[in-house]
Amino acid sequence: MDHFFAVVLFPNSELLRVLGNLKLSLPFSGNLLDMSCRYIPSLIRNAPRLKTRGIEILRDPRTNKGSSYTLHERQLLGIHGLLPPNPQNQDVEEQRVISNLYQLDDNLSRYMMLMSLQDLNEKLFYRTIRTHLEYCLPLIYTPTVGLACLNFGFVFRRPRGIYITIQDRGHIFTLLKNWPADTIKTVVMTDGERILGFGDMGANGMAIPLSKAVLYTALGGLQPYHCLPVMLDVGTNNEKLLEDEFYVGLRRKRATGEEYISFMDEVVESLSAHYGPNVCLHFADFKNSNAFQLLERYRSNYITFNDDIQGSAVVIVSGLMTASRVTQKKISQNSYLFYGGGGASIGIARLLVQAIMEEGFSEDEAKSRIFIMDSKGLIVTSRELSSAKSEFARSDYPQIDSLLEAIRLIRPSVLIGASGQSGAFTRDILRELSTIHKTPIIFVLSNQSNLGECTSQMAYKATEWRCIFVSGSSSEPVRTPDDRLLKPSQGNNCYVFPSLVNALSLAVIRPLTYKLLLTTAKVNYIITCCFFLSNLVFFVKKKSNKLLCILNLL
């Protein structure tokens, strides 16, 4: 198990030829073009068959094609007269959707319209997203999904996915039988305790698995009925939600300790027993301590993945590799300062250690280039720390509380913000960074633009337009005084997890090691370099609807 294979699963012969004929030193073997068709049958097997005629076909989002049925199809299926008489092709229907989206006033309304379309016509829903990915991705995923979580109870219309509560202990396996699809390849689940930058959202966090499930199909090629969104409702400590008359979840305090772990054990065992040992368990937006504990607890016996820890690590390390093309520095020649000590920072730091070690350094030498600050300051050995944070505790530096002071002392070439603290990167901090390095690298990873440590405009202006800027949410281009247009890149785990998780299930990879994650980052970096433009760290979104279907298979 020493090689990774890249398998491209989308009908784009031109791009397949480009990738298949690459004369690069790739971290995998095999011909991409030949391998691209190897797993396609598994994606179309067990496709739903029409079992009904008449009006029920139009009521089922999996079979409904809207007004695009031909006269012959209408007569054959018993729906003649149930639709307007003029058949319209899907191009027209797609344009109607986009035109209506542009007419709406805010992104939450656009999100609701797209989700309503999903409930009505899945084919048109996914076609619209893939064709207009640059416009639709921020509407169905971050940052708009954060608004959907905040307003989930108020805008709730039609249930999707499964809700498993702490009160269902003892019969979770039986509960799973209520789900109509038997062939599930990926389960994406959350307990709603750490939703984006909003904290404990309880059952309102179900919007996260629902959005990620959409990306599995739109970007990863997984059939919609092969992905199961799951809300694990163990209560909430959010008093505002408990008092909200529209709140859809259990009105109780959040379960913790042994009660929580025993519940999770039953959930995982039931999912594996019902859907088979090769089902992939995707954990999303769990509290940091629970996220690390659950990943470690189940990683050896089940196919597991956490996009906050592992997915973000792959995307950001891949972005750092690409940024090195601009700065002309190796990964090992940079020093890294993380502002925020959560799961994303720890996951990225762990993968960075692997990347630096591959350049010939020891683990201790690699860790010496990495510094992490949390809400209490620089992580040092004199502090009481969790096991995850203690991996990067420094004994050679004093306790530093000020970020500006830390930058002056550490002199990092890469500053990564993962704190969700708006405005933490002040003008003085950014200017200090630019005086130390000609081309500083600044990553602001919050998925909510209003929670980012700084904006792209602030970063570019304070560094005299010299920095490489990456944000977790989409940012508008910035025009310089000399009329250059700087396009901020977006570093989001959606660039990786739809394809990577599909690969884990197909290749039955357990456990997912950091060595394999690093290889995935390298593959993502190589694909990005094929379409490298200006100072973009990640490939442009116009091509991402093709590139994001890359599966990294062991």
Please check if 265 is assigned to a binding site.
no
DSSP state of 470: E
Q: What is the DSSP string of 131-155?
A: HTHHHHHHHHSTTHHHHHHHTHHHH
* Widest pairwise Cα distance in the chain: 79
| Catalytic residue of the set 212, 287, 543, 546 | 212
- The whole-angstrom separation of Cα 549 and Cα 307 is 17
- The whole-angstrom separation of Cα 37 and Cα 155 is 41
Give a three-class secondary structure readout of 88-114: CCHHHHHHHHHHHHHHCCCHHHHHHHH
Please check if 447 is assigned to a binding site.
yes
Indicate the length of the chain as a whole number: 554
Rg for the chain, CA atoms, rounded: 24
Looking at the DSSP bridge assignments, the partners of residue 551 are 7
- CB-based contacts of 209, cutoff 8 Å, min separation 6: 161, 188, 189, 190, 229, 230, 231, 284
**Scanning the structure block, which residue is given the tokens 């990564």?**
416
**Scanning the structure block, which residue is given the tokens 């300790």?**
257
Please check if 194 is assigned to a binding site.
yes
Closest by Cα among 158, 171, 149, 139 to 269: 171
Surface-to-core class of residue 240, CB atoms within 10 Å of its CB (0-12 exposed, 13-18 middle, 19+ buried): exposed
Indicate the residue type of 270.
Answer: S
Residue 524, token pair as written in the block: 């993502």
Check whether the bond before 488 is cis (ω within 30° of 0): no
CB 229 within 8 A of CB 206: yes
Catalytic annotation present for 141: yes
Residue 54, token pair as written in the block: 């008449």
- CB-based contacts of 106, cutoff 8 Å, min separation 6: none
Please check if 493 is assigned to a binding site.
no
- SS3 of residue 542 by DSSP: helix
| Catalytic residue of the set 111, 141, 260, 298 | 141
Residue 213, token pair as written in the block: 């499930």
Catalytic annotation present for 389: no
158 alpha-carbon distance from chain centroid: 24
Please check if 46 is assigned to a binding site.
no
Sequence ranges of the binding site for a divalent metal cation = 285, 308
> Binding site membership for (S)-malate: which residues?
194, 447, 492
Q: Which residues are catalytic?
A: 141, 212
Which residues sit in the known binding site?
Answer: 194, 285, 308, 447, 492
